[in-house]
Each structure stands twice: as structure tokens, then as C-alpha cells.
Amino acid sequence: MDNNNKPVLLFVDDSKVMRLAADKMLGREFRVEVAENGVEAWEMICHNPTISVVFSDLAMPEMDGFTLLKKIRTSDDDGIAGLPVIIVTGAENDEETRSEALRLGGTDFISKPFNSTDLLARARAHAHYQRERKELARQAMIDPLTRLGNRRYLQHRLRQELALASRQQIPLSVVQLEIYQFNQLFVQLGKRRTDMVLMKMAQLMRGVVRKEDSLARSSVAQFTILLPSAGAKGAQRFVERALKVSEKLAFQFRGRAQQLPLSVVIHTPTAHTGLMPRQVQAVLDEQMSKARLAGPGAVVRDGPDEPLATALTTPSITIEQALTLLRAGKPRVVVNALPDLKRQLAPLLKLIEQTPAGQETA
């Protein structure tokens, strides 16, 4: 088997003899990574998501097996927290020691001196289980309609990106696009046509994200994009591209072409150790509430020196929609759309100017 295609296993033991023995016994079926202590092992686990099984001794310098096991089980990363951890016990480890390892979340035990048959049996069983678990988790993170990541996927990726941004001191921006008054659209178009609009929206967003970005359908009418290494200006440029392509989402209703109105949020959190996805989500929810109140085409972003809601593109609305918005107490959107409304009225105003007083036109 090609070494790159082998499951990755981490063997942690301060004994060089034990590490060499494990590599010799498992190396034909697994790519064996080794660590001398818990500190080294934890660093490898955090930076190598391909590790599928961990074998760990208990008595080690710097960080022992108990502490390593506890860090794995309490990790914010679901992939790390769910790793199978097989505790390697020696003759000095009594029943109380085993019970403590089990209490902290040890998956299985193997005693020294071990033989290749026992070691391979445990490695195969737990690697197979981990492979199935990851596949089920992957399927659980996919939105069935758009085939994008879902909200669970978004929280998973956001946790990873926040940790990376904090560790490497790089910016991270989050953009949310929401179909304005989606419930009304659903009533107008029905489920089948609305689903087609959502699938088209997903397709268009796939065309503007970068390879390193993460795209998810985070709620029924909402799409969220994580933009690693993009600051506020980079996020704004992305929104401009996204709004440009979203113009293709026009649909027919009662014989008239209608643009798909969007509400947009741009958030660039100040990444720091300990910043959690739920804290970022709380800010996004608050900003999206403001965007909804501001009306179709509104963009809400961070920054005390910028207005809470601005429009990157002038929303295209009809005279009837403008009247409805004014009655609803939303003059900002109408003011933003005045140039477009004036263009719509221009032919009528020109005709009125050309018509002599008292004369009716046919």
C-alpha cells in the first residue's frame, strides 16, 4: 500500500524501544507517527487532522498520558475530541490507574509487553471505526438541497479558522447573505421554484469563493462564507462580487421580472485565543437583524466610523414597492433607490412636459 494512502496512527511513549517496536509491528498497514511525550503528541494532533488512532503510555515526562487524554477529550475540535485513544499500560499500572484512564475517556487498553497480533487488532478496529465515524460526520454536515455545508459544518470550520487566525495572527472575515423576506418569496413562488432559487444561489456563490474559503447554507434562506486571511476591505470586495453575480437571480412573478433582494452582513472579528464560534454567531445575528430592518440591499458591517447599514449597490425597486416601504417606515431604502425611481419616472415626466396645459393625451 502506498504510504500516503495508509491510515495515520500516533504512538506516544518516552521509550525509544517501544516506539521502534510499534513502528515495526504496524508500519506495513499504517503510517506510524511517534512522539516522546504528551506535549509533543498534542502539538502533532492539533496540526495533523489525518491522525485516526492514538496509542499512549501513561507515565511520561513533561505531559503524562492522563493529561494528554484529558486535553483530547475536552478539545473544542470535534474531530480531535472523538479520536480513539488506546492506553498502553505496564505492570506498574494497577486497576485504579486503569479506572482513572477510563473515567477520562480512554477508548481501550493494551498491556506491555504487547505482541504484533494484539497491537494490529486494536489498530485495525479503531481505525476502521474512526473512518466510518468521519464519513457519517461528513454526511451530517452537508445540506441535502444545495450540497453545501450546513450550520454544523459552519460551526466546525469557524472553530478551526478562529484557532488558525489566533495562532498565526492573520485576519478572518465572515460574510452572511440572506434572502430578504424569504417567507414572502416562498408564498409567491411555492416550494419547487423557491428550491430552484436556493440551488441557483448556491451555484453562484461557489463561483465567487476562493479555494481556501468555506461556504455553507447556514439557515433556510441564509448563506455564510468564511474568508481566511481577508480583512474588512477584502470582505467588502467579496461582497461586491457576490452581489454582482446575484443579479442573475431574477425570477418571473405575475409576468414581471423580479430581482432577488438580499440582506448582507460583514464581520471581521478580532481573533484571540478563546474566541468561540457562538460569540461570532451572536454578533452576526445582531447585525443581520439590523440589515433586515434596513430593507432590501442593505449591508451591515463592523466599524464605529461607518454607518450601520449602507448599500453597496443601489437596490432596484418599483414605484409600488417604494410606496410600501414608506408606509412601513423604511425611508432609507427608498432614498437609496431614488436614482432608479427617477429613471423609471423619466419617460412620464418628459411626456408631461411636452403636453400643453389642458390637453389630454390619447
My answer on whether 78 and 208 are in the same domain is no
**Do residue 129 and residue 253 come from a single domain?**
no
For residue 299, give the H/E element and its range: strand 299-301
User: Nearest CA to 299 among 265, 255, 261?
Assistant: 265
**18 in a structural domain:** yes
Separation CA 9–CA 16 (nearest Å) = 17
What is the β-pairing status of strands 222-228 and 214-219?
A: antiparallel
What are 301's strand-pairing partners?
Answer: 266
Q: What's the CA gap between 52 and 29, in Å, rounded?
A: 13
| One domain for residues 156 and 293 | yes
Least confident of 2-16, 89-103, 116-130, 342-356: 342-356
CATH number at residue 108: 3.40.50.2300
How high does pLDDT run on average in the chain? 83
Residue range 106-118, pLDDT digits in tens: 888 888 888 888 8
- Angstrom CA distances, 135 to 76, 129, 193, 352, stand at 19, 10, 31, 68
Domain contains 95: yes
For residue 348 the three cell numbers come to 412620464
Distance CA 208, CA 245 (A): 8
Tell whether 355 is covered by a domain.
Answer: no
Instruction: Look at residues 140, 164, 183 and tell me which one is the last residue of a structural domain.
Output: 140
pTM for this model (two decimals): 0.56
Structural domain including 103 reads 3-140
Select from 109, 140, 171 the last residue of a domain: 140
Cα–Cα dist 216/178, whole Å: 12
- Residue 245 contacts residue 208 (beta carbons within 8 Å): yes
Query: Is residue 259 assigned to a domain?
Result: yes
Claim to verify: residue 63 and residue 162 sit in the same structural domain:
no
Q: Which amino acid is at 61?
A: P
Among 140, 172, 205, the domain-final residue is 140
Residue corresponding to grid cell 465515524: 133
One domain, residues 60 and 160: no
Whether residue 161 is contained in a domain is answered as: yes
- Whether residue 249 sits in one domain with residue 216: yes
Residues 51, 155, single domain; the answer is no
- DSSP code of 220? T
Distances 60 to 26, 70, 81, 162 between C-alpha atoms, Å: 22, 15, 21, 31
- For 193, the grid coordinates are 421554484
Q: Which amino acid is at 85?
A: V
Query: What are φ and ψ of residue 56, in 5° steps?
Result: -140, 135
Cell of 347: 419617460
SS3 9: strand
Q: What is the pLDDT of residues 35-46, one digit of tens each?
A: 999 999 999 998
- Quickly count: other Cβ atoms within 10 Å of residue 76's Cβ: 14
Distances (CA, A) of 142 to 138, 152, 154, 158, 196: 7, 9, 10, 15, 18
- pLDDT per residue as tens digits for the range 164-177: 888 888 999 999 99
Does pLDDT of 311 surpass 60? no
Evaluate the omega torsion of the peptide bond into residue 331 and state whether it is cis, within 30 degrees of 0.
Answer: no
In the predicted model, what is the mean pLDDT of residues 323-349? Answer: 67
Residue range 118-156, pLDDT digits in tens: 889 989 888 888 877 777 666 788 898 999 999 989 998
Residue 319 in 3-state DSSP?
A: helix
- Cβ(72)–Cβ(64) below 8 Å: no
For residues 262-272, give the mean pLDDT.
89
DSSP result, 156-213: HHHHHHHHHHHHHT--EEEEEEEETTHHHHHHHHHHHHHHHHHHHHHHHHHTTS-TT-
Assigned domain for 14 exists: yes
CA 219 to chain centre: 12
For residues 135 and 63, state if they share a domain: yes
Together in a domain, 64 and 184 = no
In a domain, 226, yes or no: yes
Judgement on whether residues 186 and 58 belong to the same structural domain of the protein: no
**CATH code for position 303:** 3.30.70.270
Domains identified in the chain, total number: 2
Q: Is 50 exceeded by the pLDDT of residue 243?
A: yes
Closest C-alpha among 246, 224, 236, 240 to residue 301? 236
Q: Is residue 54 situated within a structural domain?
A: yes
Are residues 226 and 163 part of one domain?
Answer: yes
**Chain-centre distance for alpha carbon 119:** 37
Q: What confidence score (pLDDT) does residue 188 get?
A: 80
Residue 221 shares a structural domain with residue 272: yes
Identify the band that residue 309 occupies on the pLDDT scale cut at 50, 70 and 90. very low
